Structure 1
Amino acid sequence: MIDEITFEVLRHRLDTINDDAAAVLARLSGSHLAAEARDLNTAIMAPDGRVVCCGRYVLAQVVSMHLVVRDILENYADNPGFGPGDQFVTNDPYIGTLHQPDVVVVAPIFVDGELVGWCGSTAHQADVGGPNPGGITYDARSIFDEAVPMPPVRIVEGGRLRRDLEREYLVRSRTAELNRLDLVGQVAANRSVTAEVGRLCGQYGADAVAAVMDRLLERTEALLRERLRALPDGRWRHVAYVEYRPHGGTTEAVYAVRLTMTKRGDDLELDFTGSDPQAPGTINAAYPALAGFAIGGVLIYLCGGLPWVPGGVWPVVRIRSREGTVVHARWPAGVAMSTAATCQAVRVSVNACLARMLEASRDLAHLVMASCQAAGGGGGTVHGERGDGTSYATMTLDEITGGGGATWSGDGADSSGYTTSPGASCANVEVNEAYLPLLYERRAELADTGGPGRHRGGVGTLHALTPHGDGASMTMMSFGQGLQHPLAAGVCGGEYGGQSVVAVVPDLAGLADEGERRLPMPSATVPIRTGELLVSVSQGGGGLGDPLDRDPAAVLDDVLDGLVSVRGALRDYGVVVTGDPRRPDGLRVDDPATSRCRDDRRHARIGRPPAPPAPSRQGRPLSAVLDLLPPAGDAPHREGVVACGRCGTVLCGAAGNVHEHLVVSDASPAERSPLGAVYEGADRFVLRRLYCPACAVQIDVQVCRTGDPVLAAIEVL
């Protein structure tokens, strides 16, 4: 046994060693994806592969890295075997990576001939081959139409890089030199971890280091189970949608990712078995990607204040899936675009269900967070030729500028990127211009893109760029998601964040005009010619709480900061802003007009004057706006009843679907689409708002397909 002080010293040393490895990888890489945007991560693992230290960059890249180690242990223990100084490279999404562009390199850590652990790193590489530059082929019918994945291969043997295997790996790529530098950086990062862990074992003993790893795993599992026991049992649901146009088709098909989350005692089940069958293309997620984004979501949205030790989370969270679905594809389905499509829907669904569970707890509601942006249509790969005839293929990562979700205590962070990738960011404009033959006309936060709520979601960002240089050409392959409907879910009655936008336009002048713009969905390849602008908008984060409860002074501050327009203040919050910003007294809130406007909105929601608030809440919270009350006397509902937490009105029995007893109002998602962009197919979706029939408070907001029944998002067990 080791004492607590030694334990704390060693666990922080392991974290520091792992963080230093990520810095080594970023410094040695020649790619802006790693060096600037930090689309990478590192991990230290126990001897069986369970992750005990994970970097704070792209969490989904490392939380399921044990699957790679498990494959090596099961298949290579005797042939070819592994020993000190060995390293294995793979980009096989059916074994343990997210998709083919995310290359994983893992290495065993030996001390005095004994295996004490593993280390690993992941880096998104600019191009790993396949028919389409950038490594993602939108029209892929199967994985054989994409970059062909490489199973784990021992590329470093006894500390020496195998030149034959390095050539085999690099010949696949159009950006071989960048990939070589990434590979060198990953190998060096693993060598750094191996050497530092060896020194740590030399100082404290290998047994002590092993004991720290075991305690980290055990303690994290125990703490997470303790947190779950403090939360109410229940079942929660969310549905998110992914669009994909099959090869040769003219219309996007819609695929549903359906999550039913059940919590009993200290057990948490994420059931995705109701998701749609896999697509005949590239949006599908293989199981490792499903697991990576699901567990990454649990770390962010449930484990606040707990150790981030993925290996300790896995025993607590049970993932149920069905092979052959869009979230658990069967070989050889195409999966290269999964991280920007189905995986985003997985992460949003986990986020939404965990938020519903947490908002029912008086002690843990402070952890509630709405969804951050999802990868949208503005994300994708760009490729072409420079003026000198050399080719390029990569991502700009402009889409990692969307808004963060609102929290229980405040607004979401503006243009902050993915919550589940806390250390990743968009590349700097000047860096992209230095690497690529393009010129940015604008990058700026865009008003009204944050999800409205009592607390506002963070806003997204507008980008406009054009090919630059003599003879330069550019083609984009858009991910094509979040254009027809929003993806970043609000919570506690908050609204969804703004949608994506991607379009090629002659100039920026027309974008300032109000009004609707009918746009086609992007095709597999979108050419951008000299003199044209590629315009994209990253998504906003979801809001928290009824927008009509937002402090008008906070809305005015947002207007003054350029985050909400005067028109948006009225449309989304019922706040009347008057005045002239050019005058000394500037803009101000018209308080009487705002009160009248909000009263009229509440009246319109339910068709009559709303009931007044109750003096206090009764029973235990079922959500931020619903209460679960015990049965009273000879009441027909022996299991208890669900009541509105705002006005106290009883809505239904506890065994019923409370959402069926709310006032439902369906609207077009296009009503808040940035720049007035409306894409073909948007009419297949509705934004469904649900209100208390007595006091008109907004209880929930759902995105669903037109004509779908109301989702039973909360179920009392």
Structure 2
Amino acid sequence: MTAVRPEQRDSYDDIVWDGVQHSYRPAPDWQTRVSPSLVFDTRVDEDLDPVTFEVLRNRLWTINLAHADTLTRMSGSPIFQAYDFNMSILTEDGENLMSGPFIQYLNTGSPLLVRYLMERLSDSPGIEEGDIFLASDPWIGASHQMDVCIAAPVFVDGKLFAWVSNAAQQYDLGGIVPGGWPQNAPDIFSDPIIFRPFKLVERGVLRPDLEEMYRRQSRLPDMVALDLRAQLAGCRFAAQRLQETCEEFGAPTVKAAMRKILDNAQSAFARKLERIPDCTLSDVLYFDEKLPGDRTTHRVQFNITKQGSRLIIDNVGTEDQSEGPNGFTYMNFAGIVLGVIAQTTLYEQTFAIGGAERQIDFRPIPGTLSCCDYPAAVSGSVLNVSSAYMRLMNMFSRLMACDPDLVGDVVVSGPDIPLTVISGSDERGYPFGTALTEASGFGGGARSYTDGVETSGASYIPLIRMPNIESSEQFYPFLVMYRKEAPDTGGAGRWRGGVGMEVAITPYRSHAIDIVTNAGGQGVSTNQAVGVFGGLPSPTASYQVLVGTDVRDHWAQQQVPRDVADLSRRETLRLRGKSNGTPLNAEDVLLLIVCGGGGYGDPLDREPERVADDVAQGYVSRAAASELYGVAVDDSAALDAAATAARREAIRAERARWRTVADVFGPGTSADTSPSTGEPTRLVHESVAVRDEGERRVLACARCDRVLTDYRDNYKLGLLVDQAELTTLPRVEDPRVLLDEDMVLRRYCCPGCQTLMTVEVARATEPVLAEMVFTQEGSR
């Protein structure tokens, strides 16, 4: 399918975002199509005092937290226990007032769903008190079909006062593969079923005919029914608590607090943007395997243009969608941006992302991998959303580093989730299935002032948790042999990424188990998280099936192996990022290695004592300490200062021999000379400063003061570059085993002092990427 490009239309604004072929985006005049019978409650107390505002702001926040608690208490699913959901309170007209501290992109679909309901369904079947609606359509409000979105109107005195909503992962709603992540689906018709928005609860009464229709699609109808009831109960609870709050404080006072929350978030976000120089940021990532066995890569690009207090975000440079589960819809495109903003630049505003959204123009091209049109297969590619989320986190890190007050909030990306889904039947023949939550046991990205947290979980799920081993083993017929932190799984840097986890699982009293793998981006072929400002990427995740082990012999001796190295095996299977139905037999072991976050800054800037301590604690191997950090330690992890100084000097000497960017990629196009401004020198990067050089405004190395480029040029054009094999990173195997295209690790350093300034993973044939170009001469 060919993407609809802006130049093929009179205007980008002519695109019809109707939720049919393209995703649904409410038109500016959408409210003119709302039924007159649906009356908005817009009463506002103009005299809201600050104390009452703070009380109500925290009350609304706790309603979301208690909403989450309702889901986890009522559901029988380990997925819900891991907080694989999010919830929101919305204004009467569908603006996202406040989301919870859970999966940050998930509930971005709620405003889309709510406005769709009001625009399309308010006449028939109508929207009344006690109603609850359900949708799993990715072209309206669901991340993918398994992230079922529930929304309920909240009425006060007969008028529509607000909405409450949740979106949560349900395990199985049909499709050609158990679990809902079919990797071999060519299009939507092999995916789990889509539910267009419909009214499931009518005036407080659950419609049994529609619930039966819903349950009928699942291989595990009882679990799905329980999860569904939990979601409905959560919305009903939140609606009731919001109504009680209106009774206690008065609806106009609560509405005034809601308005102020959004206005505060908008103004805070706008003020932060105004402090950052105008610029355009770009980043490129790749998705592997449009279908299992595909050996090509698929390009995705994000561009952020910052102008004054606004952002324009597009996906120009992204490939057209193709067959197979390899892309996502508009809801996710907007969701990853708003989720990153909620965590990085608006965390003090209690996730009031609706305020930030007022300052953003989303302009993705439909029909592309990051804004798929119907009927693309999108359920099995949902992990590519997390890959894109992490890349956006690094883009905002570069943006925030331009301001001294924001650089302290910089967080480097975490890794992708190497999702592992198992399904089968237990010893009694009963079917089961689940996504292994161990896949989210990875390390966090480094910060601008400290290391990432070890095995912290997904950074885009602030309150993520992993169920106890005993809970998983109670539900499913397998044993978790061990979980442990894995060395060299975090990205190296001045501040290193936190390490991830190694876990080994084997069947126990199961009749049959099959494995579906679903890794995002290039998470098992080239790298996981990407670093910033010279920080290195974390290595690849790994799926391995150890076939025909002697694990049962160990059990017979009342031993549980603590490392797979203790097991013999007939063979070891390395699974691809996308695979369906690999059997896990009684004597087999699944080994899953989950990685950590990206690094921050040049690894040679890390204090040698910290590296020696990392080696002593098992976070970094001796080999990586030498190769990446230039630190020499002995067998007992004691630091050898003299050898370290010599090793680091040798690494810098090697960097000095790298080629200029012009030699490798050809001369770049230079911008017109930027005139000097008289403004003081300031950092716009960990190692790049903007300053005057005579009559010019330039970008210079902050370490040695060497001029790199004009202020409005791509600063990489003034650097040295090395294109290395990905196997330079520890734990990374040759990507050519999985890919036909050559991928390289590009490292760029200052020609003067050899400080590593930026690192990227790219196709060998691609030109140098302009990751950040300033567009306004020296002023803010």
Q: How does 1:22-421 map to 2 (within 5 A)?
A: 22-34=68-80, 36-246=81-291, 250-341=293-384, 343-376=385-418, 379-421=419-461
Secondary structure of 2:765 counterpart:
coil
Structure 1 residues 226 and 307, CA, compared in 2 at 3 Å: closer, same or farther? farther
Does the 8 Å CA contact 2:420/2:515 hold for their aligned counterparts?
no
Give 1:413's aligned amino acid: V
What is the DSSP-based 3-state SS (H/G/I as helix, E as strand, rest coil) of the residue aligned with 1:578? coil
Q: Name the residue aligned to 1:612.
A: none
Measured in 2, the distance between the counterparts of 1:672 and 1:81 equals: 58
Match in the other structure for 1:440? 480
For residue 426 of structure 1, report the CA deviation from its aligned partner. 2.8
Structure 1 pair 518–453 and aligned structure 2 pair: CA distance change class (3 A): farther
Match of 1:628 in 2: 690
Identify the match of residue 729 of structure 2 among 647, 654, 672: 672
- Which one-letter code corresponds to 2:681 in the other structure? G
Shift of 1:519: 4.5
Distance 1:237 1:512, change over 3 A: farther
DSSP-derived class of the 2:721 partner: strand
Cα distance between partner residues in 2 of 1:244 and 1:190: 38
- Contact conserved, 2:109 with 2:143, CA < 8 A, in 1? no
Match of 1:701 in 2: 759
1:550 shift after superposition: 0.3
* Conserved? CA contact 2:97–2:262, under 8 Å: yes
Output the CA distance in 1 between the equivalents of 2:57 and 2:348. 16
**Which digits, 9 at most, give the CA deviation of each residue in 1:110-133, with x for residues without a partner?**
112111100011211111111110
> In structure 2, which of residues 645, 648, 656 is the aligned counterpart of residue 598 of structure 1?
648
- Contact 1:246/1:252, CA 8 A, preserved across alignment: no
2 CA distance for matches of 1:596 and 1:315? Answer: 54
Residue aligning to 1:611 = none
SS at match of 1:147: coil
State how far apart, in whole Å, the 2-side matches of 1:520 and 1:468 are: 22
**Is 1:652 aligned to residue 709 of structure 2?**
yes
Post-superposition Cα deviations, 1:677-702, rounded to whole Å, max 9, x if no partner, equal 75422862111100111110000000
Query: Residues 296 and 740 of structure 2 are in contact (CA less than 8 Å); yes or no, is this contact kept in structure 1?
Result: no
Q: 1:25 deviation in Å?
A: 1.0
Residue 442 (structure 1) shift = 2.1
Residue 3 of structure 1, CA deviation:
0.8
Distance 2:487 2:566 in 1: 13
What secondary structure, in the 3-state scheme, does the structure 2 residue paired with 1:604 have? helix
Matched, 1:19 2:69: no
Other-structure match for 1:551: 607
- Looking at structure 2, the residues matched to 648 and 512 of structure 1 have their Cα atoms a distance apart, in angstroms, of 55
TM-score (norm 2): 0.85
**Deviation by residue 1:120-154 (Cα, 9 ceiling, x = unmatched):** 11211111111110012111111111012101111
Query: Take 2:277 and 2:313, find their aligned partners in 1: how far apart are those partners?
Result: 16
Q: Kindly provide the CA deviation profile for residues 286-333 of structure 1, in whole angstroms up to 9, marking residues without a partner as x.
A: 111211122111211222433420111111122220010000001111
- The CA distance in 1 between the partners of 2:730 and 2:608, in whole Å, is 23
Choose which of 456, 467, 473 in structure 1 pairs with 2:513: 473
Task: Give the aligned partner of residue 583 of structure 1.
Answer: none
Tell me the equivalent position of 1:584.
none
**For the structure 1 residues 470 and 225, does the alpha-carbon distance in structure 2 shift closer, same or farther, using more than 3 Å as the test?**
closer
Separation of aligned partners in 1, 2:356 and 2:290: 36
Q: Which secondary structure state, in structure 2, belongs to the residue aligned with residue 76 of structure 1?
A: helix
Q: From 444, 450, 461, give the equivalent of 2:501.
A: 461
Q: Which runs of 5+ in 1 are unaligned?
A: 581-586, 609-616
> Superposition pairs for residues 520-535 of structure 1, below 5 Å?
521=576, 523-535=579-591
Q: Deviations over 1:68-119 (max 9, x none)?
A: 1011001111100011111001111111010111111110001121111000
Specify the alignment match of 2:22 in structure 1: none
Separation in structure 2 between the aligned mates of residue 293 and residue 652 of structure 1, nearest angstrom: 32
Equivalent residue for 2:620, pick from 564, 567, 576: 564
Q: 1:226 to 1:383 in 2, by over 3 A?
A: same
Q: In structure 2, what is the Cα distance between the partners aligned to 1:656 and 1:675?
A: 34
- Give the whole-Å Cα distance in 1 for the aligned partners of 2:357 and 2:121: 24
Secondary structure of the 2:466 match is coil
CA contact (8 A) 2:712 2:774 kept: yes
Gaps of at least 5 residues in structure 2 are 1-45, 550-562, 659-678, 776-780
The corresponding residue for 2:464 is: 424
How big is each residue's C-alpha offset from its partner over 1:507-534, in whole Å with a ceiling of 9 and x where there is no partner? Answer: 5555999xxx994635333222221111
State the shift of 1:225 in Å. Answer: 0.3
TM-score under structure 1 length normalisation:
0.93
CA distance in 1, matches of 2:64, 2:712: 48
Letter in 2 for 1:549: D
CA contact 2:134–2:151 (8 Å) conserved in 1: yes
Q: Is the 8 A contact 2:494 2:603 kept in 1?
A: yes
In 2, the alpha carbon distance for the partners of 1:579 and 1:19 equals 49
Q: Does the CA-based 8 Å contact 2:151-2:166 persist in structure 1?
A: yes
**Which residue is equivalent to 1:613?**
none
Give the C-alpha shift of residue 217 in structure 1: 1.2
> Aligned partner of 1:619: which letter?
T
CA contact (8 A) 1:399 1:426 kept: no
CA deviation map 1:630-687 (0-9, x unaligned):
2414xxxx4x222111101112222332212211111122232537575422862111
1:498/1:541 contact within 8 Å kept? no
1:713 and 2:756 are equivalent in the alignment = no
What SS does the aligned partner of 1:350 have?
helix
Which secondary structure state, in structure 2, belongs to the residue aligned with residue 191 of structure 1? helix
Q: 1:682 to 1:309 in 2, by over 3 A?
A: farther
Task: Note if contact 1:518-1:680 (Cα within 8 Å) is conserved in structure 2.
Answer: no
Q: State the SS of the aligned residue for 1:466.
A: strand
The structural deviation recorded for 1:473 is: 2.8
Give a deviation string over 1:560-582, Cα, whole Å, max 9, x none.
Answer: 211112222112211101143xx
Q: Secondary structure at the match of 2:125?
A: coil
**1:577-596 alignment runs, 5 A limit:** 577-580=633-636, 587-596=637-646
Count of residues in correspondence between the two structures: 689
Query: How far 1:474 moved relative to its partner?
Result: 3.0
TM-superposed CA distance for 1:274, in Å, is 1.9
Structure 2 distance, partners of 1:673, 1:386, is 38
Partners of 2:733 and 2:517 in 1: CA distance: 23
